[in-house]
A and B are shown apart, each in its own frame.
Chain A
Amino acid sequence: MAAGWIKGVMVIMIAILTAVDCRAEVTGRLLFERGMPGMRACADCHGKDGAGGNDGRYPKIGGQFDAYLAKQLEDFRSGARHSLVMTPIVGRLSPGQIRSLVAYVAALEPVPAPTAEGDALGRELATHGKWSAGVAPCDKCHGSGGAGVPPHFPALAGQRIGYTMWMFEAFRSGARRNDPLGLMQHVAKHLSESEVAAVARHYQAQGQGR
């Protein structure tokens, strides 16, 4: 009798926990695909599959590591990273909503990037760096083929050329400064424009993150 009662409570608790879990997932998906009053859907710009768009104005985020996504959203909120688009959006989200969104985006299956030609100079810089200018190989921190090294080093594989080039410019000019230890600001100041373009082409051609 007592055992049956305990069993009943456990079944109900599991049901509740499952529902809460599903709700978090649904919240993330709804926010991502539909947004909410006063907030555009993430998918409007980043694409339903998180593949990014508009010539790299909107980065590929689908399948990116959760810790990296969470830090960027937090930095948009705190002002450590500045974006006219993202700062007001993040300001409207509760911490719980951000967690749901991050989990949803991180779990998206990375989609094939728009095809890009491989780039010999880009590959050389990614795998061997440009030590004569103090620039370490990108892959040493971002993982082989740009697969990423969580929690701090995001995946670059399949990232859009335009976005990568834009971020290099932001790191170079100081418009973006939320990189740990200033690692990327250093790199950006020591590569030429054509080298940056080569690296960007190389990583877009690397296909899938993760």
Chain B
Amino acid sequence: MRRAWSALLIAIGSAVPALGDEPEFQPPVEHPPGPFGEMVAKGERIFTDTPVAAADYVRGRLTCENCHLDRGRRRNSSPMWAAVPIYPQYSSRSRQVVSLGQRIQDCFRYSMNGKVPELGSEVVIALETYLSWLSRGAPIGAKLPGRGYPMLADADLDPSPARGHRLFAEKCALCHGSDGQGTRRDGRYAFPPLWGPLSYNWGAGMARVENAGRFIKTNMPFGLGDSLTDQEAWDVAAYIDSRPRPQDPRFTGSVAETKEKYHRDGDYYGQVVDGVLLGDSP
């Protein structure tokens, strides 16, 4: 009996990894062969070169990979292998349960500031295929370590666009330009525009200061992630997300009404910053 108990305890002990030592999901590396593999490759191309490979559905100049680093594989960069297993899920933005395909449509509507590809269109199927392949072996419904962008500590000081501006000049302008409009090379963006007409619109998750701060903290400056303090990440996010950007596609015709309906808190929509009423540009 005692032996049975200790065997059980050992079994439990080995099944529960030590805290902070959770085994991490490893997405596959080699594309599979055949027509399925071709669709995987197509999806990966759309993911990493979105304005070119899905040109009909993109008005901005961002790629999926800009916010989901390393082709959607990078831990703490909202990796796809941790997102796919938890769809369908309730979306507070849509106020309904959405499928993976519908979530992809939302990326086009908001982050790409584009036209929504239909469910069943090749663009959506290619992306669904790529993302599902990346998630092969991930347990359905599991909240995997490395998912999303890690939480930030509450800001000690209110996030400040002015402090963020100074930091931006020091650490972000190198790649994104002092005007935040990115750096082009041969017509393509080597570094994406962070506000203005070619960036994500007011409905995008990244337009919310906390989301942007969480992304920035872990992933920016590119290649030097986790080098800013939480307060610095809040401040840079506040600066970037208090610049003009394309209108929210849910715009009702009035900034005040759209703010009341969709932007009550968490972003700068409808506020006047540096003399500009945000949410007032097309």
Binding site for A on B (CB under 8 A): 69-71, 73-74, 171, 174-175, 183, 185-186, 190-191, 221-225
Contact = CB atoms under 8 A, between A and B. Distances in A.
A175 interface: no
A131 B74 contact: yes
B130 to A, nearest CB: 15
Interface of A: 128-129, 131, 134-136, 140-141, 143, 147-150, 152-153, 180-183, 186-187
A150 B222 CA distance: 17
27 contacts: A129-B70, A131-B70, A131-B74, A134-B223, A135-B223, A136-B222, A136-B223, A141-B175, A141-B190, A141-B222, A143-B185, A143-B190, A147-B186, A148-B185, A149-B185, A149-B191, A152-B174, A180-B174, A181-B171, A181-B174, A181-B221, A181-B224, A183-B221, A183-B223, A183-B224, A186-B223, A187-B223
A199 B67 CA distance: 26
A149 B190 contact: yes
B174 to A, nearest CB: 5
A55 to B, nearest CB: 29
Nearest to B73: A131
A147 B186 CA distance: 10
Contacts, number: 44
Which secondary structure dominates where chain B touches chain A? mixed
A141 B223 contact: yes
B225 A150 contact: no
A141 B171 CA distance: 15
A168 to B, nearest CB: 15
Nearest to A180: B174
A128 B225 contact: no
Given A131-B73, A141-B222, A147-B185, 6 more contacts: A135-B223, A136-B222, A141-B175, A141-B190, A181-B174, A183-B223
Given A131-B69, A141-B190, A181-B171, A150 B185 contact: yes
